[in-house]
Amino acid sequence: MGPPIRVLVADDHPIVRGGLIALLGTLVDIEVVGEAEDGASAVREALLSRPDVAVLDLRMPIMDGVQATRKIRAALPGTAVLVLTMFDEDELVADALAAGAQGYLLKGADPGDIERALRTVASGAAVFSPQVARQLLARVRATGTEPFPELTTREREVLELIATGLSNNEIGSQLHIAAKTVGNHISAIFLKLGVVSRAEAIVRARRAGYGS
């Protein structure tokens, strides 16, 4: 067994924060290394504890979760951000993912879903609650436009698999190409789409109907 997944929990509601910390404390090889009651504190705690995953609410005082996500991801690119919130408005979802969040769950998710989401984002892949995925797909289908004509056929295949949350190694296995080649395709996709992170590419792709 490898080292534990180190987690920071940030939520302005003490009962919610305490309940989540208690849940995580029951899980094998997951360790809570910090907690915060607002976005600014979350950023400070992240810089101190350097967690593998930061679990953030979006509506927090002093600094909201979107700003905190952006700052954490900029300072600690190795720290994944999992949003756990009660808000599922389209713009909030898009803002959080554009800021660098790799996962978006709604409060009320089953403990098993939270555990799976934590492990997924810690591995470098992305995860979305079914409600959020449906909303993004509905927005895309409403546009009725042909997405990403600037991409090659292979780049679209890679983007489709990125949108499903697969890692570079998993994409390579599916397409029978090396993970390094996948990385080269992803770099080209980022350049052509004008994005700078995997999370931004995912939200663009899901808006276009990829990954469904």
**Residue-range domains of the chain with CATH:** 5-134 (3.40.50.2300), 145-207 (1.10.10.10)
CA 92 to chain centre: 13
Q: How far is CA 122 from CA 53, 77, 81, 117, in A?
A: 6, 12, 9, 8
Reported as type and span, the H/E element at residue 31 is: strand 30-36
Position 98 scores a pLDDT of 80
Position 102 scores a pLDDT of 87
Quick one: which of 125, 173, 181, 178 has its CA closest to 152? 181
pTM above 0.75, yes or no: no
- Ramachandran angles phi, psi of 69, nearest 5°: -60, -50
101 vs 43: CA distance, rounded Å: 14
Please name the residue that has the structure tokens 């909303």.
135
Position 34 scores a pLDDT of 96
Position 152 scores a pLDDT of 82
- Ramachandran angles phi, psi of 64, nearest 5°: -75, 170
Reported as type and span, the H/E element at residue 106 is: strand 103-106
- For each of the chain's 212 residues, which pLDDT tens digit applies? 678 999 999 999 999 999 999 999 999 899 999 999 999 999 999 999 999 999 999 999 999 999 999 999 999 989 999 999 887 776 778 788 888 888 899 888 889 999 999 998 998 888 888 777 666 666 555 555 557 877 888 888 899 899 988 999 999 998 899 988 999 899 888 888 888 889 888 988 888 888 76
Reported as type and span, the H/E element at residue 122 is: helix 111-122
SS3 call for 83: strand
Position 143 scores a pLDDT of 52
CB 110 within 8 A of CB 20: no
Position 24 scores a pLDDT of 94
